[in-house]
Structure 1
Amino acid sequence: MRLIVFGANSPTGRLVTAMAMAAGHTVTAITRRPADFPFCDHRVQIADADVMDADAVDWVVRDHDAVLSVIGVPLSLKPVTVCSQVAFNVVKGMMNHGVRRLLCVGSAGLDAADLSRVGLLCQRAIRPVVLACGPAVQQDVRRMEGIVRETGLDWTLFRPGRLVTRSDVTDYRITAVPAPRTLTSRVDLAHALIHEVTHRDHVGETVHVATVPC
């Protein structure tokens, strides 16, 4: 398949790119820092496209079979529109060029239901920070999800837990609802994305990826 990955130079995006190549796909990697992208392979085309520019996104989306967005946004006290604007631009480009398969990753660790289940000590430590900086990002992610759900495209939304780094893929779980204090390794999330883009097990669904502890 011909895949396009937005946020390809992020930690998760690099894993997605590597796994896509290993699975025999070709990848167009969208990154703001092409010189820092670690892959040099005939199966990868690097594109320096401004994801906030609808015309630039439209140009790079054409001639692909599926779109994967792993763009992340740090916590902020200021209004955030990156996730929703990128989703709008991507969806518009996909519709213009007849691309139907869309996979998007939301922000990790910002769901209020998850936060309420965290231990008391952890709540005291992180809750003030999340409450101060998280709502703007969380609201934008929800806007992004709303845009995706209303498209009529073959979409899947991924909600990871708190992202961690591991070297190997685990026997991770994909569920319809989050488990308490879920951790998600980036390699598991990347594996889930590449598996879903080819197997289409969760079209039109929002899923949670939970890494199985050692």
Structure 2
Amino acid sequence: MDIVVFGANGPTGRLLVGQALAAGHAVTAVTRDPDGFPLSDASLRVVEADVHDTAAVASVVRGADAVLSALGVPYGRQPITVYSDGATNILNGMRAAGVRRFACVSSSAIDPAAGPHGGFFFERVLQPVIVNLFGKQLYTDMRRMEAIVTASDLDWTIVRPSGLFDASGVSEYDYAERYTPGAFTSRADLADALLRQATEPEYVRTIVAVSTSAGAPTVRELIVREALGKK
């Protein structure tokens, strides 16, 4: 398959591109910094484009069999529009080019009603602080993105991981419509779940959850690894 990956130079995007190449797909990796992209392969094309650039996005998706978005940005106080603008431009470009299959990364944090992902501290203290304070702008834009995607007439899937962490490889992760109970998701497992959407029709026009069970960190370990940048 010919697969286009947006957010290709992020930590999940790089894993996604590598997994797609290993599976025998032709991949177009879309990044704002093509010179800094670390992967190379005969089946890989690295393209410079910004998801805010309507014309550039439309050009990139032309001829694809599937488009996967691993777009991600850090928390910040300023308004974030990467997710919503990206979804709008990608979907419009796909529609104009006759490309139908699209999948993107969101987060389980924007839908706590789907089910519990941890104990009292995680549910009542940590997650609300992250979603409503540090990540307020990010999760607000993710919600806009989900509304744009779910209103589309294309063959979309939204993939919601829990708290992200790094792992050495893909595990036996949990994967189901809307909810899985795990509090954490390895980026390798997220990339694998996203790649599956390119070839599997089971979750078309569905929101799916993915979480890692074996080897997942505790809340304290995740804070140390991700928030403080320690190993």
Structures share fold, TM-score greater than 0.5: yes
Structure 2 unaligned blocks of 5 or more:
216-231
Distance apart, 1:78 and its partner CA:
1.9
SS in 1 for 2:77: coil
**1:85-100 → structure 2 map (5 Å cutoff):** 85-100=85-100
In structure 2, the CA distance between the partners of 1:110 and 1:148, relative to structure 1 (3 Å rule), is closer
- 1:132 is aligned with what amino acid? L
Q: 1:51 to 1:113 in 2, by over 3 A?
A: same
| Stretch of structure 1 that moved more, 107-116 or 142-151 | 107-116
Match in the other structure for 2:184? 183
Deviation, structure 1 residue 177 = 3.4
* Amino acid of the structure 2 residue aligned with 1:14: R
Distance in structure 2 (CA, Å) of the matches to 1:67 and 1:169: 21
With 130-139 and 30-39 compared, the bigger mean Cα shift is at 130-139
Unaligned regions of 5+ residues in structure 1, if any? none
Amino acid at match of 1:72: G
The answer (yes or no) to whether the contact 2:177–2:207 under 8 Å persists in 1 is: yes
Cα deviation, residue 179, structure 1: 3.8
C-alpha separation in 1, matches of 2:126 and 2:98: 47
Name the amino acid aligned to 1:142: R
Residues 103-122 of structure 1: pairs in structure 2 closer than 5 A: 103-107=103-107, 109-113=109-113, 118-122=118-122
Identity %: 43
Distance in 1 of aligned mates of 2:19 and 2:84? 26
Instruction: State the partner residue of 2:26.
Output: 26
Say which SS state the counterpart of residue 198 (structure 1) adopts. coil
Report which stretch shifted further, 113-122 or 92-101: 113-122
- Three-state SS of the structure 1 residue aligned to 2:91 is helix
| Compared CA separation, residues 101 and 124, structure 1 to 2 (3 A) | closer
Distance 1:112 1:192 in 2: 21
SS of the aligned residue for 2:197 comes to: helix
Aligned residues: 214
Partner secondary structure for residue 4 of structure 1: strand
Paired position in structure 2 for 1:212: 213
Q: How does 1:1-214 map to 2 (within 5 A)?
A: 1-107=1-107, 109-113=109-113, 118-122=118-122, 124=125, 127-180=128-181, 182-214=183-215
Tell me the equivalent position of 2:225: none
| Partner Cα distance (1:180, 1:174) in 2 | 10
Task: Note the alpha carbon deviations across 1:94-141, whole angstroms, 9 max, x for none.
Answer: 010000000110146454448976445455466445422322211211
User: Aligned partner of 1:133: which letter?
Assistant: F
Instruction: Measure how far apart 1:169 and its partner are.
Output: 1.3
178-187 vs 38-47, which moves further: 178-187
**What is the root-mean-square deviation in Å for CA atoms of aligned residues?**
2.0
Residues 180 and 210 in structure 2, CA contact (< 8 A), matched pair in contact too:
no
8 Å Cα contact 1:114-1:181 kept in structure 2: no
Please state whether the residue corresponding to 2:99 is helix, strand or coil. Answer: coil
Report the TM-score, using the length of structure 1 for normalisation: 0.91
CA contact (8 A) 1:109 1:115 kept: no
